[in-house]
Amino acid sequence: MTAQLFHLNQSEQERRWAAYARGAHMKRDYLFGEPPGPRICSIAYSVAAKAGVTVEDMRSPKRARKYSRPRQAAMYLSYKALDKSTTQIGRFFNRDHTTVLYALKAVEARPHLYPIGEGE
């Protein structure tokens, strides 16, 4: 019983330390004078608004063109505008990194089909 209690306390400490480390890492640039830049969610919200869908629809498993094209456009803009990996972008949209790679190729091949205006 004591060993199990120690194990639970140790894992709780590790969880708290990991949460602190994530928070400190996220705030690091801001603490040293650089304001936080755009995020994947802000790009997703702007593309969703332009396409007339919700971000929840873009993150859902729906595969209809109405949702997939704005999702692919947001993936493309997130990759080009932010210093994020395809894995990080895929996690936000509940997709695999290979899906993000496909979206990058699809948007570059046919940009006129996607809700991305010039200068965005």
61 to each of 22, 56, 74, how far by Cα in Å? 28, 10, 16
Any idea what the Cα angle at residue 116 is, between residues 67 and 91, rounded to 5°? Answer: 50
The residue extents of the domains of the chain are: 1-36, 40-112
What pLDDT score does 16 carry? 57
Q: How many CB atoms lie within 10 A of CB 42?
A: 13
Per-residue pLDDT of the chain (120 residues; tens, 9 = 90+): 444 444 445 566 566 555 555 554 455 444 554 455 679 999 999 999 999 999 999 999 999 999 999 999 999 999 999 989 999 999 999 999 999 999 999 999 999 998 776 544
What pLDDT score does 62 carry? 95
Q: What is the dihedral of CA 25, 37, 89, 12, to 10 degrees?
A: 20
Q: 40-112 belongs to which CATH class?
A: mainly alpha
Q: At what angle do helices 40-51 and 65-81 cross, to 10 degrees?
A: 140
What pLDDT score does 120 carry? 46
Backbone angles phi, psi at 37, to 5 degrees: -90, -170
CB of 104 within 8 A of CB of 76?
yes
What pLDDT score does 2 carry? 46
What pLDDT score does 19 carry? 55
